[in-house]
Amino acid sequence: MAGGKTLSLVFGPAQGYAAIVDKGEQLCKVSLVFIFMVSAFAGCFIGFGALLSLTIGGRILPAVEAYGSGVQTWVYAALFPVNLLFILLSGTLLFTGATFTTPSAVIEGRADWKRSALVIIMAWLGNMAGGWGFAIFTDLCGLNDGAVAEYVTKVAISKTTKNWGVILLRGIGCNWLVCMAVFLCTIAQDMTGKYVGIFFPISTFVACGFEHYPANAYALPLAYLAFQKEAYAQPDSPNFFDMLWKNLIPASIGNLFAGVVIMSMGFSFFFGSLKKGECCKKKKEEEEPAPEKPNEENMPNIEAVDKWKQGQQQLPQQQQQPNWVDAITGNNDGFARTVSC
């Protein structure tokens, strides 16, 4: 049938970056207690996905013996992405995502560096609390035993016996992919598209062996608890300090670099203020009313916003999106909210 209105299930990259900036600005406006709580929840959701991968991956030893360890790696990588689906669609927060969203808001002049740093630090602490808490919960449930305990202790030894610089570099590779998962999930507008956008980057980083601080903040404490049991004790097993210094800290630094430098600054150069040399331009206390149609000086600035607004005006009142916040200069009326996770 001709004459129908085309509906896209995927927004373009410029719209996606606008939504990331909006998300970062909102995170910088809420209380740090809220940031800690949603980050702790995210740490628990990471635990669910990691436990699923450990449970299934640890129980396929016959297949591993027959076909090689690649089978175990593939199964672990294929199951792990479920945790990011929980996190992004529930509004909880990972340290890795915060290193992309809040610096993007700073670069576009929608937040300040101090607040962004506090959000990132609080997300790091919240993920640690959630990871440790869910590891203890897993152990109390009697699930940190058998194949799971054997697998997670093997993983922990591997993660704490590599060169410090190697872990840092693997942290960079990891969060490059994790932030791409956040970005692809943001631009996808249906559940299937969001999960596809999440699945491939996350399964890639897991299968390749990159280092993800929030995931390690669950797996390493779980391994530590397993090492305390006589059946899984090893003479040279890593202690908490080893896990922190040899893995969690370098992985965190690598994740931070990828989020801020590669993703935030990179996307701003493509679609935002770095493209015009207006980095961190401060928002004025009193701005003149924005023109009805955004001009090219207001970045990120996207034609699709105007089309979206026109479409909203044509909908019945009960179907229109709420006017949440004038989140990005030129992108008001809640547009970014509708494409943000």
- Tell me: the pLDDT tens digits for 182-212? 999 999 988 899 999 999 999 999 999 999 9
- The Cα 312–Cα 331 span in angstroms is 14
Longest Cα–Cα distance of the chain, Å, equals: 73
Which position has the higher pLDDT, 311 or 34? 34
- Residue 26: pLDDT over 50: yes
- Residue 233: pLDDT over 50: yes
Alpha helix stretches (DSSP H) within the chain = 13-29, 32-58, 61-67, 70-79, 82-90, 95-107, 113-140, 146-159, 164-187, 191-208, 213-227, 240-243, 249-257, 266-271, 303-314, 335-339
- Residue 319: pLDDT over 70: no
Q: Does 8 reside within a domain?
A: no
Q: Does 202 reside within a domain?
A: yes
Check whether residue 309 and residue 271 sit in a common domain.
no
Check whether residue 209 and residue 316 sit in a common domain.
no
DSSP state of 224: H
- Identify the pLDDT of residue 45: 97
> Using 50, 70 and 90 to split pLDDT, how confident is the model at 274?
confident
DSSP state of 274: G
- Residue 257: pLDDT over 70: yes
- Identify the pLDDT of residue 51: 96
Check whether residue 326 and residue 222 sit in a common domain.
no
Q: Does 2 reside within a domain?
A: no
Q: Which domain holds residue 318?
A: 303-339
Q: Does 47 reside within a domain?
A: yes
- Residue 221: pLDDT over 50: yes
> What is the reported pTM?
0.81
Query: pLDDT over 90 for what percent of the chain?
Result: 67
- Residue 324: pLDDT over 60: no
- Identify the pLDDT of residue 332: 39
Q: Does 77 reside within a domain?
A: yes
- Residue 172: pLDDT over 90: yes
First to last CA, the chain: 33
- The Cα 171–Cα 168 span in angstroms is 5
